[in-house]
A and B are shown apart, each in its own frame.
Chain A
Amino acid sequence: MSTSSTPLASALALRQKARRRREALTAYTFLLPYLFIFLVFTVFSIGYAFYLSFTRYNLLSPPQWWGLEGYRRVLCIESWFPRPENAPKPVCDDLFIRKALPNTFKYTAIVVPTQTLISLILAFAMDQKIRFRRLFRTIFYLPSVTSSVVISLIFVWLFSPLGVINQIFHLKINWLNDPRYAFYTIMMVNIFTTSGTLMLIFLAGLQDIPTALYEAAAIDGANKLQIFRYITIPMLRPVIFFVVTVGVIGCFQVFDQIYVMTAGGPLDSTTTIAYLIYKWAFRDTTVKMGQASALAFILALIIFVVTMLQRRVIEGSGTVGQ
């Protein structure tokens, strides 16, 4: 296309182009298994769910086109504003706006920083020269290997009013049946189960950092705080991004624990968006799969925005923060 000044330059450009094409081809072969699953499952599943979000669908008879009605009923804008005393209630569900949305944000805001911090501290402690490392690691991993359903069952029992927790600490708290405590109890359970896994990931990340970097820094006279600040944290940044992103996604989609421990109650105090989706999609006698799908995409949008913001913070601060 563009006429080069010398034949050599054009030959070089050609070779580079060929090289790039070869690399692209190699990259795609590396990605082939993923692309297969992505195209066959992910694209179709999400596309189908997206279509369903514009329908009314109770699973027992075919979906009917419903336009944006599902989204309207989820958002229930009418309920955002005070309505006159005897005006009829709007035909929509304000559970999302009133309970599920604030609950989900609260959950994420508390659980993600806590579990990230705990697991980072644990990973850092494990990365030291300590005895019994093997034993500690196995123990820390215990909560993660037990299925979340079983862990939840155990915790229902531990946190019952006459349960072990209240007996040990001489408390009289109705952990799971009091709207004031139920949600925090579930948060504790989640932090407890995920910290072990995240610790493993951090630990693997910490081991990636070449010792040479630390040695070089030490020769340059950097102190330990500086090493941590300018080597460990920046080198760990991709892993931190991963842990936080996965944490955010997991928290926004928290379901298992709530399903087993409280089923959204008492009085909706533990109803999260994912639980509401499940409730609409499967639990109600008259299933609202369309509306559930609409909510799923609203949730995805929320997660997307939060992830992008957080990506900017984690990946951007490296250059700004110094």
Chain B
Amino acid sequence: MTILTQARPRPLSLSDRLILWYDRFKTPLFYLILILWAIVCLAPLYFTLVFSLKPVANAYDPPLFWPIPFTLDNFRDVIGALPLFPRWLLNSLIVSLTVTILRVLFCAMGGYAFARMDFPLKGVLFNAMLVSMMIPGQVTLIPAFLVVGPGIIRGGLKIGDITLPTGFGLIDNLGGVILPGIVTAFGIFMMTQFYKSLPRELEEAAMMDGLGRWGIFFRIVLPLSQTQLLTLALLTFQGEWNAFMWPLVILRTPENFTLPLGLNWFRGEYYTLISKVLAGSLFNTLPILILFFLFQRYFVQSIAGTGLKEG
């Protein structure tokens, strides 16, 4: 070590050489990585599309890579056999949008409190939140259903002559799907971690100017964390859009179904016509993709806003 550092002119150290090498190759390297992964991501959806564009009877014939013979029957059948399709689409939109808006707001509020404020029981609450994520959903399904639906105590809590309901009574109601999702431990945890890494300077300046916590939150923190909020919004929307087990338990009549519940009709009891299932799944995927593409703008904006850190 000492000999090396004393020698002059100083030879290139390993890390220097690494950086040189990196500077030369980084652009093609990154493109290679991105393109490879893009292919990996596109392939399954491409094959799904090909499969769903072939007639049911030719589903298993070659070629695998091209929809020959071509047909739109599967898509037409999915729409045609399911007259309630528009209704389900609307239901899915109501649920996903409501949950997304409320969850992003509430989780940002909670995350901000955990990241920036001091209050009694903070540690306990935060850890309790983490622990609550560790219990698998299968065993909390029934108690959660009791709370949303018929109530913890069958027939309600009787005090004298008054019977108090112990549940929300939201069975077969979109509200029952929405309610438990309006804020989640996952979301709060995520926003907490984001806000922890957000620089404090702006907030401190605002506080000097006499702005209260709510003012800071709404006027400074929310606009500043646009990307993070969008990330959470997207994750939430996607999760709610695809949610299956909880709506299945809550919703009863076909008119109230969400899209995944309705589309699952094509998974038969004994057999499944896979072309139709895949066609249906594309109907389910498309809206989120459109939404995602629309919101791209904001992501790109905030990248530009940080002034592009070159490698």
Contact = CB atoms under 8 A, between A and B. Distances in A.
The answer to whether any beta carbons of A and B sit under 8 Å apart in the complex is yes
Interface in A98-156: 118, 121-122, 125-130, 133-134, 136-151, 153-155
Interface stretch (A7-15, A27-35, A89-97, A171-179): A27-35
Interface string B196-235: 1111000000000000111001000000000110110011
Interface string A182-217: 000000000010011100110111011111001000
A320 interface: no
Contacts of B134: 249, 252, 299-300, 303-304, 307
B40 A128 contact: no
B47 A154 contact: yes
Contacts of A49: 135, 139-140, 143
A33 B119 contact: no
Given A34-B106, A125-B33, A307-B134, A236 B296 contact: no
Contacts, number: 286
Given A142-B289, A196-B41, A211-B306, A300 B147 contact: no
A154 B48 contact: yes
A112 B13 CA distance: 33
Interface in B280-308: 281, 284-285, 288-289, 292-293, 296, 299-300, 302-303, 306-308
A155 to B, nearest CB: 7
A79 B129 CA distance: 35
Contacts of B139: 49, 52-53, 277, 281, 289, 292-293, 296
A155 B44 contact: yes
B164 interface: no
A14 to B, nearest CB: 18
Interface in B108-132: 109-110, 112-114, 117-120, 122, 125, 128-132
A145 B289 contact: yes
Interface in B16-62: 16, 18-19, 22-23, 26-27, 30-31, 33-34, 37-38, 40-45, 47-48, 51
B38 A30 contact: no
A142 B109 contact: no
A201 B231 contact: yes
B227 A42 contact: no
A142 B48 CA distance: 13
Interface stretch (B2-10, B66-74, B78-86, B180-188): B180-188
B285 A133 contact: no
Contacts of B284: 146-147, 150
A289 B142 contact: yes
Nearest to B264: A149
A129 B310 contact: yes
B30 A125 contact: yes
Given A122-B37, A239-B197, A27 B293 contact: no
B130 A224 contact: no
Contacts of B197: 205, 208-209, 235-239
B247 interface: no
A126 B302 CA distance: 13
A143 B41 contact: yes
Nearest to A294: B139
B309 A238 contact: no
Interface in A275-303: 277-278, 281-282, 289, 292-293, 296-297, 299-300, 303
A214 B34 contact: no
Interface residue tally of chain A, by bracket?
35 or more
Contact residues of B: prevailing secondary structure: helix
A166 to B, nearest CB: 11
A130 B30 contact: yes
B37 A133 contact: no
Interface stretch (A80-88, A240-248, A262-270): A240-248
A207 B281 contact: no
Contacts of B292: 138, 141, 145
A290 to B, nearest CB: 10
A215 to B, nearest CB: 9
Contacts of B113: 26-28, 30-31
Given A130-B31, A167-B64, A210-B199, A24 B44 contact: no
Nearest to A229: B15
A253 B146 CA distance: 23
A134 B310 CA distance: 18
Given A147-B260, A204-B194, A26 B117 contact: yes
A225 interface: yes
Interface string A35-46: 001101110111
A48 B40 contact: no
11 contacts: A34-B183, A37-B183, A44-B143, A48-B143, A128-B26, A138-B296, A139-B41, A167-B64, A201-B190, A274-B138, A304-B134
In the A-B complex, list the 9 residue pairs whose CB atoms are closest, starting with the nearest. A147-B242, A48-B143, A30-B113, A27-B119, A45-B140, A24-B119, A33-B106, A242-B193, A150-B281
Given A30-B109, A139-B38, 8 more contacts: A26-B213, A33-B106, A33-B109, A42-B185, A143-B41, A147-B244, A192-B41, A277-B138
